[in-house]
Structure 1
Amino acid sequence: MNYSEIEIVLQEVPGEISICFSITGCGVQCKGCHSSFLWNKHNGTKLTEEVYKSILTKYNGFASCVLFMGGEWCLNELTNYFKIAKNLGFKTCLYTGETEIPKKLKVELTYLKTGPWVESLGGLNSKKTNQKFIEVQTNQILNHLFLKN
């Protein structure tokens, strides 16, 4: 599993300061994708467990959530990374263009964003979006948190 970048983000998971890992190799390849550089799995740098743990340790106590933009195509590795994050006290979130993910992965998540990008429908900040931001334990859709009043 390769990552393109690691950032601290504030808007992708409402109410959380998230460590965001952008993973390369996305097979969904949505038309109009703003991150098409993530399609090639050979782009980026290998995310080793050592690097991953050092990033989580560095931001533990500051960030509250670990967010992966993609990576579900590396099921076992991603599942393990979410388990590590949970054991360190982080909430977990996956952004995927898929509409469903394997249960093995889903049980490790606090939040899940599903659905491909469809330009005419917009993203989570659009009332007509096809995408869903879900609190996994309750299965509650939290899209309203992205809408401006």
Structure 2
Amino acid sequence: MYYSDIQIVLQEVPGEISICFSICGCKLRCEGCHSPILWKEGNGRQLTRDVYENTLTTYKGLANCVLFMGGEWHQTELLGYLDFARLEGYKTCLYSGEECVDDAILERLDWVKTGKWITELGGLDSPRTNQKFIEVRSNKLLNHLFLKNH
């Protein structure tokens, strides 16, 4: 599993400060994608267990959520990383362009974003979007949190 970037983000999971891992190897290749660097599997650097655990340790008490931008295609590794995050007290989220995410992954998530990028429909901040931001345990759609004047 390779990543192009690790960032602290404030808007992708409303109300949470998230450590965001942008994972390479996305096969969807959506037209208008803001991160085509994520398309090629070998781009970036390898996300080793040491890099991952050190990152979570560094931000413990500062961030409270771990967010993966993709990576569901590396299910075994992703499951291990999600388990570790939860063990360390982090909430978890996955942004996927797929419509469905495997149940084994969902069981380890607090939130999931599904749906590929379609330029004409926009992202989560558009009332027309095809994308869904869901609280996993309740299956509640939370797209309204991304809209202005919600």
Whether TM-score is above 0.5 comes out as yes
Name the amino acid aligned to 2:10.
L
Distance in 2, matches of 1:71 and 1:43, equals 13
Give the aligned partner of residue 6 of structure 2.
Answer: 6
TM-score by length of 1: 0.99
SS at match of 2:72: coil
- Between the two proteins, the alignment pairs up a number of residues equal to 149
Percent identical among aligned pairs is: 59
| Runs (5+) with no aligned partner, structure 1 | none
Mapping 1:1-149, distance limit 5 Å? 1-149=1-149
Counterpart secondary structure, 1:73: helix
CA distance in 1, matches of 2:28, 2:109: 21
* SS of equivalent to 2:73: coil
Cα-to-partner distance string for 1:51-108 (whole Å, 9 max, x where unaligned): 1000000001110100000000000000110000000000000001000011111100
Q: Specify the code of the residue in structure 2 equivalent to 1:22.
A: S
Take 1:4 and 1:72, find their aligned partners in 2: how far apart are those partners? 16
2:93 is paired with a residue whose SS is strand
- Name structure 2 gaps, 5 residues minimum: none
3-state SS of paired residue (1:137): coil
CA drift of 1:18 comes to: 0.2
| Letter aligned with residue 59 of structure 1 | Y
Q: What per-residue deviation string (whole Å, max 9, x for no partner) do you get for residues 11-49 of structure 1?
A: 000000000000000011111101011000110000001
Distance in structure 2 (CA, Å) of the matches to 1:85 and 1:39:
25
* Aligned Cα root-mean-square deviation (Å): 0.4
Q: Spell out structure 1 runs of 4+ moving beyond 2 A.
A: none
